[in-house]
Amino acid sequence: MKSSLLPHLLLGFVSVVGMIAVAPVQCALAEDSFVKAPDGVVKYRLSNLTVKEDVRGKYFSFDYKRTAEGEGTPQLRYRTKRGVSRVSGLPIRIDESGDFHLRDMFARTRTILNGGDDEFAIEFFLVADVGVGESFLVSNVVSSGKLGSRLKVRQPSEADRQRIAALRIAKLPPRTVPAGHHRSNATTSLVPGTPCLYGIAGDWKPGVFVAISSPSYVKVKPADSDRLRVVKRSEWLAISDEDLKAQQSSPGQYKLDFQVLEGSYLVLPKGYNPISAEQELVKGTPLRREYQSEWQDVFFLAKEPAAARVLVRDSRGAKVEFVPYGKLAISQQALEGQSVAVTKEKFASFVADVAQLNVGRASMESGAGFSNRAASSSPATASSGANPFGGSEVKPPRLGPLRTWQDQSGKFKIRAQFVRQEGSAVVLKREDDRTISVPIDRLSGVDQEYLAELDGKMGDESASPFEDDVDVSGVAAVDYSKIMQPVARITDLSWGAKSVAISPSNKLLMIGRKASCASLCELPSGRMLVDSGRMEHMGDIGVCAFTPDGKVLLMGGAKGLVEVYAVAPDGSLKLKKQHQVHGAEVTAMSLSADGRFALTGAADKGAKYWEISSGQVRGVIADFAGKIKATRIAPSGYELMVTDGKMLKVYSTNESAVVKTLEVGRSHVSGQAAAISPDGKMLANGNAYAIELWDLELGAKVGVLEGKEINWSMRYGPDGRHLFAGGNGVIRIWDCQRRAKVQENVIGKSFYVQNLTVSPDGSLVSAPCEFSAVVVLKAGQ
């Protein structure tokens, strides 16, 4: 039935005691047909429909009487020429028998909408939903006037009857108990951690008893879920005879191997522990609380007598709330960071923007009541070269002399300079100006003696220990304060562009196209250097990338094939290799710092780490829920990151295994894009219109970038601070440190920017701008 935006029949409920005016119904319901109630569903008889009138106008009156007991709660419906609608107003209680009085509150409007025909027709009837997805007609139909059509009613099918039968079974405890088990009752002794069976849908499922919820109900953790279930203590719970005896003789042998917060229905994630009111926490410490049956990331602000004041960031913005201590948990990593200076500074940066909320600055510091005014001062605009985690500026470290380092086996050597020592690792700067982090215990004895003599004098102790293995200080700052200007536009790309890549020299632009072809263009002229023609064996070119030295180009197609080309100085291409890496479309690609390896993700819900020269697969990261959206290879080559937007997995190439997983989204379809920062510290993940920022070291969501539309593509700039996101005909640049949009570049009209790239120096960004064109924008002009 089509619903109308104009008022049609507008009814108000009138009680049998007195008349009550209520809100009108505005539109018809979607359902226009019902199933006749089968046996076992409640039934009623309606009669004596009359139209009466008093000083306030006309009203309808009719009686009802229950004729059969059964499943379902009846609800009143009416039908006019505009469809089926609910009666609005106070909830109508339908007992065994009684009568209805319903006032036609807008008779004049109704007459106008019906073309002046005052002979308005209406039908009343009762329906019930018993929880099987159907609305059953549970009464006869009484009418006033003639509608000219009959209410659509069909007989119940066998499937309807089976669903109702299954529902009845689910409402009853299982009929029998497995051998060797006894049903629990109100006096059965129960010890937390005891294995049990709980009844569900007429069957028994294995679980573990957690706690008594009330005199009649208990909490059970299912064996296949981390969400607790509440079941009736009597009849619905079964304990084995062996465990019943053991509980009496040796109850101490039972204990929970997991933790649950007070009043919570979710098992605490591994590595998390409850906090107490006595616990001292650093401002900005990431915590978790259960909220609407999910874990929510919050940030500690201050202690209060009965609750902690925390900062909450979600898709609706940021706000301050009070959460009881017993409902908060902290990770072991965040707990250990309470005594580390640089970590404390980093935590503080997570709540640096709290003054922008509707909370007075003075009240935040003093613990006084909240103010309804935002702080008048705005945060100062940080320079591009500032410490991305806030706080004082980090001075560049003094470097040691260039020397040869080797591992204990003597097989691996590298020429590099000492940068600093971080705990059990040393940071080295290679000849190619990239930095790596190496465990000290893997270095040769000579190197370890060298480090002992240095005794940290060459390093800067104030430098952040979170510098993994990317030295962003070598990246020149790019001014994004001004709108980027187009410097090239490539048009006449038949069937449109699907992927883009800019060479390290900023002189070449590779364009992967939808028509199973590709184009290589000169920058900034836009002159076409190479046009591949049709490559049916590849399919549409969804990803392409240059190696860091610009001498090799890789292209991944819709058929899972990756081609490797040598790039000559004049821009000509020569095919070197073809590797059938995946069995489905290649959707993401990262290349190693030395240009030897590639990490590609595909629509087959997995990623592969492989050698470019041979195609030999060195690692597989599988079992994702959806297609891969972002990948990263650490410059050291020891660590890989892959995400599908729901789960992020960290893979160690040394251990040839996934060493860490982090759930970063409710579903792989929550957003269209994701991006991992160059240093591997941050993840930007789409969630509907918002972009959620994750600190990957802490495993916590630390910010939300609000938007007004879906972000179809994302890419971090080389500074790791600025994020480029493609929307509907626009490219937006976000400052992830300030959580603020820096600029918005309109590049097209009614065109979703589903792929974009940023040059290695951050000065250029390129993306398809319409169905047959690509634009290149330049910063700082």
CATH of the domain at 189: 2.30.30.140
Give yes or no: residues 723 and 636 share one domain: yes
Q: Considering only CA atoms, which of 518, 593, 627 is closest in space to residue 562?
A: 518
Q: Mean pLDDT per segment of 10 residues, for the chain of length 781 residues?
A: 31 36 40 77 92 74 90 85 70 77 56 51 86 79 86 83 76 87 89 92 90 87 91 91 89 89 86 88 92 86 83 78 87 90 88 56 30 30 31 47 81 80 74 72 80 55 35 62 89 86 94 87 90 84 94 94 91 90 95 94 95 94 95 91 95 91 88 92 92 89 86 93 92 89 86 92 91 88 53
User: What is the model's pLDDT at position 70?
Assistant: 83
For residue 377, tell me if it sits in a domain: no
- Tell me: do 618 and 735 sit in the same domain: yes
Same domain, 744 and 663: yes
Could you tell me the two tokens for 334?
Answer: 């965040």
pLDDT for the residue 434: 66
Spatial CA neighbour of 443 closest among 433, 432, 428 = 428
Note whether residue 261 is domain-resident. Answer: no
Residues 426 and 550 in one domain: no
What is the reported pLDDT for 7?
Answer: 29
Residue 476 lies in a domain: no
Of 131, 146, 169, which one is at a domain's C-terminal end? 169
CA dist., res. 584 & res. 509, Å (int): 25
Q: How many Cα atoms are found within 13 Å in the side-chain-facing hemisphere of 48?
A: 9
675/653 Cα distance (integer angstroms): 21
pTM of the model: 0.54
In a domain, 650, yes or no: yes
Tell me, yes or no, whether 577 and 432 share the same domain.
no
Asked whether residue 260 is assigned to any structural domain, the reply reads: no
Residue type present at position 18: G
Question: What is the domain count for the chain?
Answer: 5
- Bridge partners (DSSP) listed for residue 676: 683
Last residue of a domain, one of 118, 139, 169: 169
Query: How far is residue 607 from each of residues 45, 326, 564, 565, 714, measured CA to CA in Å?
Result: 63, 40, 18, 22, 19
Q: Can you give the CATH number for the domain in which 612 is found?
A: 2.130.10.10
Reference 100, options 85, 89, 110, 111; nearest CA is: 89
C-alpha distances in Å from residue 26, one per residue of 114, 137, 338, 383: 16, 23, 56, 54
The two tokens of residue 115 are 């073309």
Q: Do residue 600 and residue 665 come from a single domain?
A: yes
The verdict on residue 675 lying in a domain is: yes
Q: Which helix (H) or strand (E) holds 363?
A: helix 361-366
582 lies in the same domain as 518 = yes
Q: CA 714, CA 695: separation in Å to the nearest integer?
A: 17
| Residues 618 and 499 reside in one and the same domain | yes
Domain end: 143, 169, 195, which one?
169
| 713 lies in the same domain as 768 | yes
- Give the per-residue pLDDT at 515: 76
Q: What tokens does 22 get? A: 């209520």
Residue 251: is the preceding peptide bond cis (ω within 30°)? Answer: no
Q: Domain check: are 153 and 214 in the same one? A: no
CATH number for the domain harbouring residue 411: 2.30.30.700
Per-residue pLDDT, 536:
80
CA distance 767 to 506: 15
One domain for residues 432 and 538: no
The DSSP element (H or E) to which 447 belongs, if any, is helix 445-454
Torsion from C-alpha of 338, 339, 342, 346, nearest 10 degrees: 10
Give yes or no: residues 191 and 247 share one domain: yes
Domain of residue 228, residue span:
181-253
